[in-house]
Amino acid sequence: MGLSKTIWANPSEFLRIQQPVDPVMFFAPSVLQATARRFLDGFPGLVTYAVKSNPDEMVIQNLVAAGISGFDVASPAEIELIARLAPSAAMHYNNPVRARHEIGYAVSMGVRSYSVDSHSELAKLIEMVPAAGREISVRFKLPVNGAAYNFGAKFGATEEVAAALLARVAEAGFIPSLTFHPGTQCTDPMAWDAYLRAAGRICARAGVKAARLNTGGGFPSHRLWGEVPELDAIFALIGRVADEVFEGAPPALVCEPGRALVAESFTLAARVKALRDDTHVFLNDGTYGSLDELPITGIIDRIAVVAPDGNRRRAAPRPRVIFGPTCDSVDRLPGEVALPGDLAEGDYVVVSGMGAYSTATNTRFNGFGALAIATVMSLG
Ligand SMILES: *Cc1c(COP(=O)(O)O)cnc(C)c1O
């Protein structure tokens, strides 16, 4: 990925002057820092960042500058990244399955917080991590809906197993905590309600008061014009229900958003390579590129079309099928997407809210995917 050192006023200025033939991600540090402050001011506990959603060094540096002091890391490479860019930050190794060499690396790097969802993985941690002052958070799951993509299919213990694990963690001398993830792009605040109540039941069943309760990531980003996420309502609900469930003395709360922290600070500009017989739009970016998660999490309809002269196309919208550049027929955006009727070859399709799971999962499949990042003052 290329990194431009120039700071541009906004995406339109860049597109007009540079006329890029490859996809460009515009990054606005000011938007990222404002979003971070919104979490820091609104969430009733510690705000950490899930590195996997966008591990770009500029992202980490701007989050640190905004006051983010903890990171959810899932691999030695992410641990190395945070140790280098944010040496005083807390690292929460919340990938509940690790190879022994990965645990050994985390211990050597001073990681003090781990998550677990099985007896076999807990046994590895007990064997390899010195207990004193180290936290182990038991990850539990519920069969609740509300997210675009349920994370419970891979990770999380049932309430019963979670209670047994929590008791074992405490017995082994670690700081016992609980953690969950309601699934990414979770637009239903009641998912958190259900998880917090389950946390109360798990503590009661284990006879152990959790020191901390990590309420996960999963906070929604703004993907559809008509659905503005209500983060403040979710924050308020988490604080209120945690108080109620733990009778005024809840565990210290933690959250670990990825998507909702970073999505809004990046906007993608993909060029129209071809408008095939006035029906199919072929872009130079697609589902093997930065748009890779759209088939799973659904379309982002916050799309503008900018002509090569930097002006917006404004004709009445028409539904279009959008394909990416590769020769694979799954390289298509979900459904049909309304785009201005005067869209033409050479235009830029500009998609807002693209910061999460985009640059991180972009591939070079079929020789495409030369994605550049340009820094802008404003995304407007
Ligand atoms: C991916 C992940 C997150 C971030 O999820 P978002 O939906 O992007 O907020 C947080 N915690 C864990 C353990 C994760 O795996």
Q: Is 181 in the pocket of ligand 1 (CB under 6 A)?
A: yes
pLDDT of residue 147: 72
CB count within 10 Å of CB 49 equals 31
- Written as six digits, the tokens of 216 are 């996960």
Going from N- to C-terminal start, the domains of the chain cover: 2-27+263-376, 30-262
pLDDT of residue 4: 55
* The ligand 1 atom nearest the CA atom of 218: 7
Q: Is 264 in the pocket of ligand 1 (CB under 6 A)?
A: no
The answer to whether residues 219 and 234 touch, using CB atoms and an 8 Å cutoff, is: yes
* The ligand 1 atom nearest the CA atom of 139: 13
Q: Is 242 in the pocket of ligand 1 (CB under 6 A)?
A: no
What is the bridge-based pairing of β-strands 337-340 and 212-214? unpaired
Q: Whose CA is nearest to atom 3 of ligand 1?
A: 217
Average pLDDT over residues 151-176: 94
Distance between Cα 356 and ligand 1 center (Å): 11
Euclidean distance between CA atoms 139 and 158, whole angstroms = 9
Identify the architecture of domain 2-27+263-376 in CATH: Beta Barrel (2.40)
pLDDT in tens, 63-87: 999 999 999 999 999 999 999 999 9
Read off the pLDDT band of 144 (50, 70, 90): confident
The answer to whether residues 163 and 125 touch, using CB atoms and an 8 Å cutoff, is: no
Q: Whose CA is nearest to atom 15 of ligand 1?
A: 95
- Written as six digits, the tokens of 361 are 């999962």
Distances (CA, A) of 106 to 28, 85, 131: 32, 16, 14
Annotate 301-360 with DSSP letters as a single string. Answer: --EEEE-TTSPBP-SPEEEEEEE-SSS-TT-B-SS-EEEETT--TT-EEEESS--SSSTT
Read off the pLDDT band of 109 (50, 70, 90): very high
Helix axes 100-108, 76-85, angle to 10 degrees: 10
With 90 as the cut, is the pLDDT of residue 163 above it?
yes
* Domain 30-262, CATH among 3.20.20.10, 2.40.110.10, 3.30.70.270, 3.90.1200.10: 3.20.20.10
The answer to whether residues 312 and 305 touch, using CB atoms and an 8 Å cutoff, is: yes
Distance between Cα 293 and ligand 1 center (Å): 14
Distance between Cα 258 and ligand 1 center (Å): 6
Write the CB contacts of 277 (distance below 8 Å, at least 6 apart in sequence): none
Q: Is 215 in the pocket of ligand 1 (CB under 6 A)?
A: no
